[in-house]
Amino acid sequence: MSRAVAEIDIYAIKSNLDLIKNKTKSQILAVVKANAYGHGLIPVAKAAIESGADWLGTALLEEAIELRKSGISAPIIAWLTPLGEDFRSALELNIDLSISSPEVLDEIVLASNLANKVPRLHIEIDTGMSRGGVRDDWEKLFIQLEELVKSNKINVVGIWTHLARADEPEEQMNATQLSQLNDRVSDLEKRGIKPEFIHIANSAAALTNKQSHKSIVRWGIGLYGLSPDVNSLGSSKSLDLRPAMKLKAKLNLVKQVKAGATVGYGATAVTTKDTKLGVVAMGYADGIPRNANSDAGVFVAGKRAAIIGRVSMDQFVVDLGIDSLVKTGDEVIVFGDGSAGEYTIDEWAKACGTINYEIVTRIGPRVPRIYTYERT
């Protein structure tokens, strides 16, 4: 093994896809944005399609283009489409595009003239996130859509929105957002536009809110075996999800120090007794959060060893204990599914004051991904 590696369990990915297929009659869109949440865009996308995903979804258009150029022929949608993107290539590669403004629509229509292709569009509606999507000026956009549909310049195949509080299933806002989406669907239909695909459900809603299961459900964090919200929905294990990423590293150095030794930048940590320290060959340049504290660490030789001191760019230090027999070069587990006693992704997230999404997506390109395909 090199100094660090992320082991990706493809069987877990497939298992998590099977789980949601058994919970809905809707088509499944596997969300593979952000390099498949850090797991690797192409291998995960291919595994998802092989396991029965109907769609692939990305935020960035360049990822959608990469998917298509890898030989994947399944439907793909890219939903973060700023002005100036390579819309012509998207159309030539049969990639569906999301729009939420007249300006982006104009650019896509111009690109369609160059590509000699009719764009397949999904209209994003802002129902409460105040992020992407058309909001108060929806009627102006719908008039423009109606004119373009009548002249056969575009094909409106979908309409969608994003739930702000799906991980809080009892919140009234979920029903309000769904109602607003239904209203906009009706408004489109009054103009003679009947989108085939309506979608609002993300992973949390896919697991908890059957009413949100429209034409498509977007299976994001759940695909990777992680809970959308540990506090409100429970752990991966309680949801029957299988975490797919295990992060491993090597100890670059093991040394014995006396009580009173300072550790790391700022000398923010001081050993309280004689101990052995292990220097892990990963740091914030690899995606280890700089603000990680002693509630996170590594698993080595059957025991947990907590972080001590600040995480550096390329390394961090753990307290092994004076009786440890661990040696320089030994392998450690930074995080995994917890089955062997190692720290979980959720524990790392809690220690860093963040969410599991961020922990996995920030694992950077310096860390090779190795894929396993057998049931474990």
Tell me the catalytic residues. Answer: 33, 265
Confirm if 164 and 129 have CB atoms less than 8 A apart.
yes
**Are the beta carbons of 335 and 4 closer than 8 angstroms?**
no
What token pair was written down for 376? 């474990």
CA angle 95, 213, 204 (to 5 degrees): 90
144, two tokens: 């423009």
Could you tell me which residues come within 8 angstroms of residue 293 by beta carbon, excluding any fewer than 6 positions away?
Answer: 307, 351, 352
- Contact status, residue 195 vs residue 159, Cβ threshold 8 Å: yes
User: Exposure string (b/e) for 157-183, b if CB count within 10 Å is 16 or more?
Assistant: bbbbbbbbbbbbbeeeebeebbebbee
β strands within the chain, DSSP E: 4-9, 27-31, 55-60, 76-80, 96-99, 120-124, 155-160, 197-201, 216-219, 245-257, 262-263, 269-270, 275-280, 297-300, 303-306, 316-319, 331-335, 369-372
CA distance 121 to 100: 10
